[in-house]
Structure 1
Amino acid sequence: MAPTARPTPAASRSVDAHRDAVRALVAPLPAEDVPLDELAAGEPGRVLAGDVRAAATVPPFDAAAMDGYAVRLADLPPDGGEVTLPVVGDRRAGDSPGRRGRNADGAVRIMTGAPVPAWADAVVPVERTSTGRFVAGGPATEREVTLARQPRDHVRRAGEDVRPGDPLAVAGDVVTPALVSVAASAGLPALPVRRRPRVAVLSTGSELVAAGGVAHAGRIPDSNSLLVAAAVRAAGAEAVRTGAVPDDADALRAALDAAVRAGADLVVTTGGVSAGASDVVRAVLESPGPDDPRLTDVDLAAVDLRPGRPQALARWRGVPWVALPGNPVSAFVSFTLFVRPAIDALAGRDTTSRTVRGRALAGFSSPPGRLHAVPVRTAAGADGLVVERATSRTGGHLTSALLGADALALVPADVTKVEPGDALDVLPLDGVR
């Protein structure tokens, strides 16, 4: 978007168009090399900023795949007959390949993961020998062992899993526990990942008090900033929660300045974006002033969405600002449809739609004219995903409607009645992908 001195009037747009407008505000964050131990212990969802290739051979040497005896197949009858060999050495995991068992005239007692002697080409499991089993911590007392050739050699060959230069993952992949493990095995100390997005969250309203505070007539707890901050964290970003800001333009501007100083990559506000006399967000957006360069790219929109019609976008000191409506369900629906894809984009994750198809378990009505986002519960049915409303009550202020919901059903604007068995687009409310 090009900088604008003053906003244009709110224009009606589709959900997809508004999602695209929010997405256009942000770009993937810079890359940083993060040590594997930090990735393993940190928050999930980090995204690779570049392709990853192995730096070392996995396994790094021929290793025993079983506890048993390392032998030379030439010493064992090919017909499977038994032979008795002297035990000429002992190898444990952690021994260097050059330690003990250099004499090829016999068998070497060997434990899982230990390097196989250079002259040996097979391991016979201990349970397939005259020894039967090893005693943990016991000495290597057997002087000879009777054994026979086995169908498998039970040797993990050097490089049979990964070789230097082999691709392990590509840019855009989410860092998983498996990738951290394989990277460590393949000789990598760190991975190049996108910086974790930092999202400033604040709610507006002089009626708001801190959660746990005294709410009397005319005052209500600030639940929105908690709701959005938790959703930010579930999306794999760091939430910097300011809390409630009164309906005062200067106070809001100061809070936005503080968010930028705190290093926010994205600012999300709730409330004050409609057409009321106390809607402070809209007041700030509509009166930037010719001498205030902090506010640019103002975009007021009436989105064809229920709940969540009033929306706004801007940049504050260059930082993307997404202003959501204040009703809790409206704020949550708007976050899911618009802010979550923006966080994914900042993090370098795939931002394509995650909707799936489901079928209505029971019928319900839907107001016409706008896409209706309905909190629903889903379950696996005989013919696929089945969907039922999380509550029969409606209203953007009914936060309890979100309890038990694990998805949003997206009912098209021209549908006034969902019948049992009707197909629906469903957007799962999962955490980090």
Structure 2
Amino acid sequence: MTDCCSAPGLMPLHEGLTRLLTETPVITDSETVALPDCLDRVLANDVVSPVNVPSHDNSAMDGYAFRFSDLEHHEVLPLAGQSLAGHPYQGDLPAGHCIRIMTGASIPEGADTVIMQEQTEKTEQGIIFTKKPGSKGNNVRLAGEDITRGCQVFQKGHVIKAQDVGLLASLGVANIPVTRRIKVALFSTGDELKLPGESLGQGEIYDSNRFAVAAMLKRLGAEIIDLGKIRDDKSAIREAFLEADRQADAVITSGGVSVGDADFVKDILNEIGHTSFWKLAIKPGKPFAFGKLPNSVFFGLPGNPVSATVTFQQLAAPALRHMMGAERLPASELPAICRTPLKKQPGRLEFQRGILSTNEKGEAEVVTTGSQGSGILRSMSMANCYIVLPASQGNVDAGEVVKVQMFDKPLM
């Protein structure tokens, strides 16, 4: 059910997304990859630690390891040896002695505390403490302090980040079970489209959407099947759909989902599959389509470049992550002071492009990138966030607080 501010006949974004996540199947096929190849892959199983991390009690700094109780009876602790990383002290620590120890080196049997070298003096008789440690166990990292053997480190569905690769290596895990890559077939429709590098004729434009969507799919870790540009011919588009459906888990088109005489996508989709919904109460991106083909699901992105990007990020990407078995990520949203007035008519949820920064008071503030037309792709490149304006919202005055949604960070 739509609210009083929703555009008549248009589906609210949250309802469309819920239906997408309900109607898209989850890939269950998995494969095992080597540790260096697991970045951005989706875990097919939970990861349980086979070891303690750290694997042994070790020193947190360079200094001297000793038995804390010896300080009650000794002013000077003679050196009994040393413990280096990878070359531990052999045997038990003799009573009333200490050993030279380096960061990461094993704590010998009998020792329970480490003092940093800056708080000591070395004499012919041994080591004198210029500052006594506060308590037993100072500067000692215990075995399993970070991760204990048998504990769950990652859940099934976790997308492996760069820092996770290091953590898996610290567990001694060499091979990782992951969900197979989702296969996504991609093509554009439109006789007016030309490839970058080709010359433009009257009324022709470059096909930017397919390249932008392919880049976003690459970020998701998808296997991309690029079928190129398909002319505005019903039989050619039908054959492209059939070929895409034979090869892919999901099919994405750009253009051909509006109401023009040459827009055949909806008709063909209903001939060989079915359409789940067609128009959404968002701006930009109203003419977004979702449906099912015999072997795959279909996402029909609008032809306008900003609309295509917005609908991919807000709808297609979460659905594809769901199909990959990936855990759902909450939108990165925060309040910010809007420093420029914004024009908005009540009726549709809007994603205006903005530039978020922090002022001298440490407050988050945002400004618009300027003209918000759905064909102005530069507004996406300039922006680092969306200014999310609810359907009921009207114009925004400078100084009002708005909600912003951060773009994905490219690192980590």
TM over 0.5: yes
2:314 to 337, 362, 366: 337
Q: Per-residue displacement from partner, 1:178-210 (whole Å, max 9, x unpaired)? A: 443334334444444444433332211122121
* Inter-CA distance 165–260: structure 2 relative to 1 (3 Å threshold): same
CA gap 1:377/1:82 in 2 versus in 1, 3 angstroms: same
User: Residue by residue, what CA displacement relative to the aligned partner does 1:47-106 show, whole Å, maximum 9, x if unpaired?
Assistant: 4444433221222222233333443445x4427x63252x443432212x5x64657364
CA distance in 1, matches of 2:93, 2:386: 69
Q: 1:409 maps to what in 2?
A: 387
Map 1:117-136; keep pairs closer than 5 Å. 117-131=108-122
Output the CA distance in 1 between the equivalents of 2:139 and 2:161.
Answer: 29
Structure 1 equivalent of residue 264 of structure 2: 280
TM-score of the aligned structures, taking structure 1 as reference length? 0.79
Change (3 A) 1:100 1:215: same
Structure 2 segments unaligned to the other structure (5+ residues)? 1-7
Relative distance call for 1:428 and 1:111 in structure 2 (3 A) is closer
What is residue 212 of structure 1 aligned with on the other side? 197
Q: Which residue type is aligned with residue 319 of structure 1?
A: S
- Counting only pairs closer than 5 Å after superposition, residues 147-226 of structure 1 correspond to structure 2 as 147-148=128-129, 150-151=133-134, 153-226=138-211
How far off its partner does 1:229 sit?
1.5
1:360 pairs with 2:338? yes
Structure 1: gaps (5+ residues):
1-9, 133-142, 289-294
Q: How many angstroms apart in 2 are the aligned matches of 1:16 and 1:417?
A: 22
What CA deviation, in whole Å up to 9, does each residue of 1:229-259 have, x standing for no partner?
A: 1222334544443332211233223333443
**Match of 2:407?**
429
Cα RMSD after superposing both structures: 3.2
Q: What's the counterpart of residue 308 of structure 1?
A: 285
Specify which of 15, 20, 30 is matched with residue 18 of structure 2. 20
Partner amino acid, structure 2, of 1:147 = I
Pair 1:114-2:113 in alignment: no
Contact 2:91–2:108 (Cα < 8 Å) also in 1: yes
Distance in 1 between residues matched to 2:390 and 2:120, nearest whole Å:
70
8 Å contact from structure 1 (residues 296, 318) kept in 2: no
In 2, Cα distance between the equivalents of 1:239 and 1:77? 67
Please identify, of 167-176 and 394-403, the stretch whose mean Cα deviation from structure 2 is larger: 167-176
Q: Name the CA shift for 1:309/1:94 in 2 (closer, same or farther; >3 Å).
A: same
- Gap change, CA 1:109 and 1:15, over 3 Å in 2: closer
Q: Tell me, what secondary structure is at the counterpart of 2:10? A: strand
Give the Cα separation in 2 of the matches to 1:352 and 1:66: 39
Residue correspondence of structure 1 range 66-77 to structure 2 within 5 A: 66-73=61-68, 76-77=70-71
Q: Deviations over 1:316-342 (max 9, x none)?
A: 332111011111112112212211221
TM-score by length of 2: 0.83
Which deviates further from its counterpart, 364-373 or 225-234? 364-373
